[in-house]
A = this chain, B = another copy of it.
Amino acid sequence: MEPIRPESIPNPAVRRLSLYLRQLEAVQRKGRRTISSKQLGESLRLTDAQVRKDLAYFGQFGHPGIGYRVEDLILQLRKILGTDRTWNVLLVGAGNVGKALSSYRGFRAKGFQVVAVFDNDPSKVGRKLGAFTVRPLGEIQKAVEEFGARLAILAVPADNAQDVADQLIGAGIRGLLNFAPVSLSAPRDVAVSAVDVAVQLEQLAFQVTFL
């Protein structure tokens, strides 16, 4: 098997990989052992050819006449995505979003673990948020080293988001999931992904109007 050269793989294909994995985990829970590209694609509204081509970028996982073995493919995809081990994740922001995320039970099975929660608000520092004691932002650097964290979730107000992002990046964080409704600037070697619920509703509003 050839090594992965991510620069030669379409970005959309990488994004779909996560959806395939999620789908496979669901069908595995239903006891299915094997699945064809057509079946894997249909609930995601993708063609069989799309599914096969996406997977083929990363290796030869299928069996002609059979399809893909669910368990094998799950293991392969986890390996490719890097979630065959657990990633320690820092969470900054102990507001409503931070609270929801800190108590989200689904992370562990997907290879992620929130290991510390931070906030700048003195009225929150030292308080408990679920199982975590909220720590001041000044301890981020220490926590990055302590936990070997490379990922962080940003759930602070829009005004602070860029500042906090800079701190996290300065402390060695390499991937950032941003819940603040602003576009963050970051060096090329730091990955940033974003969740903006208002933006998503806006897209739905447009589609509902015109489709």
Contacts and interface: CB of A to CB of B under 8 A. Distances in A.
B106 A14 contact: no
The range of chain A's interface size is 35 or more
A154 to B, nearest CB: 12
Contacts of A197: 101, 104, 107, 153, 177, 195
A210 B107 contact: no
Interface of A: 4, 6, 14-15, 17-19, 21-23, 26, 43-44, 80-83, 87, 89, 95-97, 99-101, 103-104, 106-107, 110-112, 150-151, 153, 174-177, 181-183, 185, 189, 191, 193, 195-211
Contacts of A189: 211
A190 to B, nearest CB: 9
Nearest to A188: B211
7 contacts: A6-B206, A6-B211, A44-B183, A81-B203, A81-B206, A82-B209, A191-B211
